[in-house]
Amino acid sequence: FFTDRPWNGIPPTVPFLILVAVLVCVPARRFPSRRASLRSLVPEITPMPPTRAVLAGVGSLVVLALVPVAVGNKLPVWIAGLTHMLVFASIGLLVWISGQISLCQASFLALGATTMGHLTNGAGLPWGLGLLLAGLLTVPIGLVVAIPAIRLSGVYLALATFGFAVLMQQVMYPSGWMFGFTLQASAPRPHLGSLDGTNDTTFYYIVLVIVALSVTAIIALCRSRLGRLLRAMAETPTMLATHGLSVSTSRLLVFSISAFFAGIAGGLQVSQFGTVSSLNYVPLQSLLFLAVLAIFGTRLLRSSILAAASIAVIPRYAAEISALAFLNDTDRQMLTFGAVAILAGVLTARRREFIVWLSARAGSTPPSGQRARPTRLAAARPAARATVSAGAVR
């Protein structure tokens, strides 16, 4: 990676090495606005009550279980949607719960995919054990990424993690530890007793069970004592440290958990497609993940499902539209992301009016705080009529 030199004589890896070194070595007090975070830019949503959350989860699981009956030959698209759902849940744990920002989630996916390939195709381990180890062996890289999070936050943490992702792409991807010289990784589908994963329907239900258990574990973690500590760390880390709790340990832990589930998702991806390329895990993919997740709000389950649908499912169905047939998958992803971003911006700006309109159509009273406020013109009309009446009397 130091031998490929452009015309200016500086290898492309050097600027990112310098960036990571500066962000890690320079004292954090030298950086202005250290407390800025993506979580503070998104309106806070009240968490769902436990009963409603359980009903929403069970309802989502039932709908997803019926997908193979309805979609026909589009089932591989929905398998990809399930794996992306786990990806977005792992990012949501970082962003919405702990207030951290990571732009190297695609690197965790790549590490999980390549580890899965080495353990199953190379070492001959069983598929289930290989998938578990793919997640566990991603954890040390998550700990390395968490080191800048101990002293950085906001845009500086985003820059540090993005620089780490570029280093992974330039240094580790071509090595034998990951994709190797061919820049590809491959892994088989599972054969679990009588379950033959080469069948798309069987593999869909295997992935559905794994993703459902993983997302349930993430949601349970968010509602546990650790989840409350992570929320407190996102809001006031100084207060948390004052009470004798280690903020650094909490950050190391949440990055490790996020990396574990991202590694699991990477292992599922390479098993679905059989072979994946390093081009599927470029650093800009992590930026796209974060941007899409930010559109759909702070509720973990809802944002994970909608983000996965917008990035993995909708673009494939858009390919059937004749006007979009000439676009490749990346272009359709970007087009879908742009359309969803515009729609989200319009609905956010007109949220109050939209809720009032829906309540009027349903014949119910809008929630407290969502009733439309009278405009200045409407408030002035009675006074104007009174003036005219007084003039007429005179």
Between the alpha carbon of residue 15 and those of residues 21, 103, 166, 174, 285, the distances in Å are 10, 17, 10, 19, 20
Residue positions counted in the chain: 394
Q: Which two tokens stand for residue 250?
A: 């909490």
pLDDT in tens, the chain (394 residues): 444 545 445 566 666 667 667 666 766 666 555 454 555 545 555 667 778 878 888 898 999 999 998 888 889 999 999 999 999 999 999 988 888 888 899 999 999 999 999 999 988 899 999 999 999 999 999 999 888 887 777 778 888 888 889 889 988 999 889 998 888 999 999 987 778 888 999 999 999 999 999 999 999 998 888 888 888 888 777 777 777 777 888 889 999 999 999 999 999 999 999 999 999 899 888 988 988 888 887 788 888 999 999 888 888 877 666 555 556 666 666 666 666 666 666 655 555 665 566 566 655 555 554 444 444 444 444 444 444 344 444 3
Q: Which residues contact 322 (CB under 8 A, 6 or more apart)?
A: none
Q: Are 296 and 303 spatial neighbours (Cβ–Cβ below 8 Å)? A: yes
Closest C-alpha among 42, 59, 46 to residue 367: 46
Residue 308 CB contacts under 8 Å (≥ 6 apart), including other chains = 81, 82, 84, 85, 87, 88
- The whole-number pLDDT of residue 193 equals 77
Q: Whole-model pTM?
A: 0.78
Q: How far apart are the C-alpha atoms of 153 and 155, rounded to whole Å?
A: 7
What ranges do the domains of the chain cover?
14-31+50-319
List the one residue out of 376, 387, 295, 297 whose CA is nearest residue 340: 295
Question: Can you read off the two tokens belonging to residue 20?
Answer: 């990571």
Radius of gyration of the chain, Cα coordinates, nearest whole angstrom:
25
